């Protein structure tokens, strides 16, 4: 069966998502034209779905569609960005209409949920490859990054650690993951927005807490001390162990992949608690940022 690229785009992508007022020109022309207000910046994230981790022959296309949007959006959330637009690069071995319909339904549902518009892309024939460009908006200078953590900052995760169950991505059955684990597969968008102007650095867990934390620590040239039990009121480091070597730390296996790990200057603590209480979202303080061992000039007494 031959279905032209044009027909596929028309049927499954051109009206798949919400229509945003800031899209001057969407699908159908040479390029999309997007309008932003003065004082805004665009945050851009590219997400490939890799064959090994995400694309197995029995993975449902509907799940893949929603998952690729959630992956990109969760990274926007870690930047404190508000999700806005998507562009999809789709390479398929053949024009399998049922597959594309189901994939588009998953992508469409997730994009609509997060208020995003699919504004363009490309559709080609070849070995299966899915890449999504995800764009979000943030007030100028307010995007969260990896490199702002300072010694003395508190380390948090957007999770109620003692009460969470482990997520093992590889055990996701073809169709059930989003339904079964709805909250765990929700990008922490509102939480990311609430961290604007408050967190000093932020990362999305994806590959687990230690990888996310290491990303922040490396970029910020700092080290981390993690509590190995519930932190006390003073956040004392008496019961601490280092994050870099803490394989026995109780926190390590509990990695909800879309949770955010962030650092916070201690004076922001009350404001954080207020904002997260308003969202009815949990967050847990799990440690402290410390000087990297061997940093010259720290041990001034
Ligand atoms: P052609 O390959 O015929 O030159 P284009 O690649 O320019 O056509 O695609 C036509 C329009 O459809 C463009 O606006 C493009 O952004 C959009 N488009 C193509 N593939 C997709 C897709 N998978 N998802 C969303 N938009 C798409
Ligand atoms: Mg094309």
Instruction: Tell me the per-residue pLDDT of 218-277, one tens digit each, with 9 for 90 and over.
Output: 999 999 998 764 444 333 333 333 433 333 344 444 458 899 999 999 999 999 999 999
Percent of the chain exceeding pLDDT 70 equals 76
The C-alpha atoms of residue 13 and residue 268 are separated, in whole angstroms, by 43
User: What confidence score (pLDDT) does residue 256 get?
Assistant: 81
Is any ligand 1 atom within 6 A of the Cβ of residue 120?
A: yes
Place of tokens 């967190």: 199
Percent of the chain exceeding pLDDT 90 equals 59
Measure 111 CA to ligand 1 centroid, in angstroms: 18
Measure 100 CA to ligand 2 centroid, in angstroms: 16
DSSP E strand boundaries for the chain = 23-25, 33-34, 40-49, 82-92, 117-125, 129-139, 154-157, 201-204, 222-227, 240-242, 260-264, 284-291
Phi–psi pair at 226, nearest 5 degrees: -105, 145
Nearest alpha carbon, ligand 1 atom 10: 28
Residue 3: pLDDT band with limits 50, 70, 90 = low
Measure 59 CA to ligand 1 centroid, in angstroms: 25
Measure 48 CA to ligand 2 centroid, in angstroms: 18
Is any ligand 1 atom within 6 A of the Cβ of residue 68?
A: no
Predicted confidence (pLDDT) per residue in 68-105, tens digit: 999 999 999 999 999 999 999 999 888 889 999 999 99
Point out the least confidently predicted range of 42-51, 153-162, 169-178, 226-235. 169-178
CB-side neighbour CA atoms (13 Å) of 136: 27
Q: Which helix (H) or strand (E) holds 40?
A: strand 40-49
Q: What value does the mean pLDDT take over residues 126-137?
A: 94
Q: DSSP letter at 21?
A: T
Nearest alpha carbon, ligand 1 atom 24: 121
Which one has a higher pLDDT value, 84 or 53? Answer: 84
User: What confidence score (pLDDT) does residue 24 get?
Assistant: 96
Task: Look up residue 231 and give its two tokens.
Answer: 């932190």
pLDDT above 80: residue 175 = no
């Amino acid at each position: 069966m031959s279905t032209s690229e044009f027909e596929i785009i028309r049927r499954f992508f051109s009206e798949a998502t919400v229509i945003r007022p800031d899209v001057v020109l969407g699908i159908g022309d040479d390029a999309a034209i997007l309008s932003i207000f003065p004082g805004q910046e665009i945050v851009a994230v590219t997400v490939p779905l890799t064959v090994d981790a995400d694309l197995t022959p029995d993975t449902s296309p509907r799940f893949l569609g929603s998952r690729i949007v959630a992956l990109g959006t969760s990274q926007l959330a870690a930047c404190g960005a508000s999700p806005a637009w998507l562009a999809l690069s789709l390479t398929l071995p053949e024009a399998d209409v049922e597959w594309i319909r189901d994939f588009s339904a998953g992508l469409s549902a997730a994009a609509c949920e997060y208020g995003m518009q699919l504004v363009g892309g490309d559709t080609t024939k070849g070995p299966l490859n899915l890449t999504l460009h995800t764009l979000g908006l943030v007030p100028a200078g307010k995007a969260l990054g990896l490199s702002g953590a300072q010694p003395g900052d508190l380390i948090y995760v957007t999770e109620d650690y003692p009460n969470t169950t482990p997520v093992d991505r590889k055990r996701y059955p073809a169709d059930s993951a989003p339904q079964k684990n709805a909250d765990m597969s929700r990008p922490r968008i509102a939480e990311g927005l609430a961290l604007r102007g408050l967190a000093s650095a932020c990362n999305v867990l994806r590959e687990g807490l230690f990888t996310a934390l290491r990303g922040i620590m490396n970029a910020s040239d700092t080290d981390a001390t993690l509590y190995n039990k519930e932190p006390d009121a003073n956040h004392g480091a008496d019961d601490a162990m280092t994050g870099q070597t803490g394989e026995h730390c109780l926190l390590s296996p509990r990695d909800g992949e879309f949770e955010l790990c962030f650092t916070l200057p201690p004076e922001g603590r009350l404001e954080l608690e207020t904002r997260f209480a308003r969202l009815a979202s949990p967050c847990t303080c799990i440690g402290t940022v410390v000087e990297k061992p061997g940093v010259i000039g720290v041990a001034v007494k």
